[in-house]
C-alpha cells in the first residue's frame, strides 16, 4: 500500500524529500524561469564563461533548465541554501511522468468536462492543486510524445516540467497535494484514449457518450479578438520548450505576444520582460540577443488577428 510521503513546507527540505523518492528536481524562479545551475553559467561567478547550453562543460547535456534536475542531496542542499525561496521544479519525461495541466483561467475545467464526456471518465491517479487554482493530473508517461496543448485550458506536459508543492505561484498561493497533503508516485498509465491517434489504433477506445459535446473555441476561452490567452508563465514555458536552433524565433514569438497582451492591459510588460529575459538566459541566448529581440517585438507589424 502506498501511504505516500509527507512533504515539508520548507522548499529545501521538500526538494530533498522528493529526491529521496528518486524524483529529479531543480530550482525554478517565481516567474517559472529556471536558474542557471553551475558556476560556469552563473554571471556572478569568477569562473563564468559566456556560452550556449550545448557548449556547457559541467558534465551534463546542458546545465540550464530541467536538464540540471538531480537527486543528488549535496547539490540540492547547495542550491536551496543559495536560494532558500526557489520553487521546486520536476521535469515530467525525465521522471517518467505525463501530466494533464488544467488551467481554469483559459477554460480548462470546461474542456476537461467535455473531454470526459467524449472519452469517458479518466482513470484515477495522483493529482496536485496548483497555485493558480488549477489542477495537475499525473500519470506514468507513455512511450510516445504527446501534443502540447490539445484543448483550450489543457496542456499535456510531457517534455516540459511542473512545479511541486510547496512551490509558490505568482498569485502568492502554494501548490499542494490534496487530502492529507502526502505525495504518492503516480502508478496509473497514461489513458489510452488520450494517446496520439496513430498510436491509439491498436487500443480500443471507449465509446463516446450519446450526447455530443463541443469543445470551447479558442476565441471563447482565449484573449479578446481571438487566439490563445497567454499568461507570463505560458510565455516563459514557450521559451523553455523551444528547440535547439530555433530559440531566437521562439523567444521573438513570446516577446511579440508579451507586447501585444500588455497593450491590451492583460499582463504587465515589465513583469513579462523580466521573466522572458531570465528564460532567455536559461536556454542560452545572450543578453544582447534577447534584448534586441524583445525591443524589436515592440515595433512589430500588428498581428492581433493571429490566433496563436
SS3 267: coil
pLDDT at 253: 85
Tell me which H or E stretch contains 270.
helix 269-282
92-103: average pLDDT: 93
pLDDT at 197: 63
- 179: Cβ contacts below 8 Å, ≥ 6 apart: none
38-58: average pLDDT: 65
Rounded to 5 degrees, φ, ψ at 299 are -110, 20
pLDDT at 36: 63
Distance between CA 301 and CA 278 in Å, rounded?
25
Higher pLDDT, 262 or 10: 10
Instruction: Lay out the sheet containing 154-157: strands in order across.
Output: 126-129, 135-140, 97-102, 154-157
Percentage of the residues of the chain whose pLDDT score is greater than 70: 74
51-76: average pLDDT: 68
Helix-, strand-, coil-residue percentages of the chain, each rounded to 5: 35, 15, 50
Distance between CA 191 and CA 199 in Å, rounded?
12
Distance between CA 52 and CA 57 in Å, rounded?
10
pLDDT at 39: 64
pLDDT at 260: 84
Amino acid at each position: 500500500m502506498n501511504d505516500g510521503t509527507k512533504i515539508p513546507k520548507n522548499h529545501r527540505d521538500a526538494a530533498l524529500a522528493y529526491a529521496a523518492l528518486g524524483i529529479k528536481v531543480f530550482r525554478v524562479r517565481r516567474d517559472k524561469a529556471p536558474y542557471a545551475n553551475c558556476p560556469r553559467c552563473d554571471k556572478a561567478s569568477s569562473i563564468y564563461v559566456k556560452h550556449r547550453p550545448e557548449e556547457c562543460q559541467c558534465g551534463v547535456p546542458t546545465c540550464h533548465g530541467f536538464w540540471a534536475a538531480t537527486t543528488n542531496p549535496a547539490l540540492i542542499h547547495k542550491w536551496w541554501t543559495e536560494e532558500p525561496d526557489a520553487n521546486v521544479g520536476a521535469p515530467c519525461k525525465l521522471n517518467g511522468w505525463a501530466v494533464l495541466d488544467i488551467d481554469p483561467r483559459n477554460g480548462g475545467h470546461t474542456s476537461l468536462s467535455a473531454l470526459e464526456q467524449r472519452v469517458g471518465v479518466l482513470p484515477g491517479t495522483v493529482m496536485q492543486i496548483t497555485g493558480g487554482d488549477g489542477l495537475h493530473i499525473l500519470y506514468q508517461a507513455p512511450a510516445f510524445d504527446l501534443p502540447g496543448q490539445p484543448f483550450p485550458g489543457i496542456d499535456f506536459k510531457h517534455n516540459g516540467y511542473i512545479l511541486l508543492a510547496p512551490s509558490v505561484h505568482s498569485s502568492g498561493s502554494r501548490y499542494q497535494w490534496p487530502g492529507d497533503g502526502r505525495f504518492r508516485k503516480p502508478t496509473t498509465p497514461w489513458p489510452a484514449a488520450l494517446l496520439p491517434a496513430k498510436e491509439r489504433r491498436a487500443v480500443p477506445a471507449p465509446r463516446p457518450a450519446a450526447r455530443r459535446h463541443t469543445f470551447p473555441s479558442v476565441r471563447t476561452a482565449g484573449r479578446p479578438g481571438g487566439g490563445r490567452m497567454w499568461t507570463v508563465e505560458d510565455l516563459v514555458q514557450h521559451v523553455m520548450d523551444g528547440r535547439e536552433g530555433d530559440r531566437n524565433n521562439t523567444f521573438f514569438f513570446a516577446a511579440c505576444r508579451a507586447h501585444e497582451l500588455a497593450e491590451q492591459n492583460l499582463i504587465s510588460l515589465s513583469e513579462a520582460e523580466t521573466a522572458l529575459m531570465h528564460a532567455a538566459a536559461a536556454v542560452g541566448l545572450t543578453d544582447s540577443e534577447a534584448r534586441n529581440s524583445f525591443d524589436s517585438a515592440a515595433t512589430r507589424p500588428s498581428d492581433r488577428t493571429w490566433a496563436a
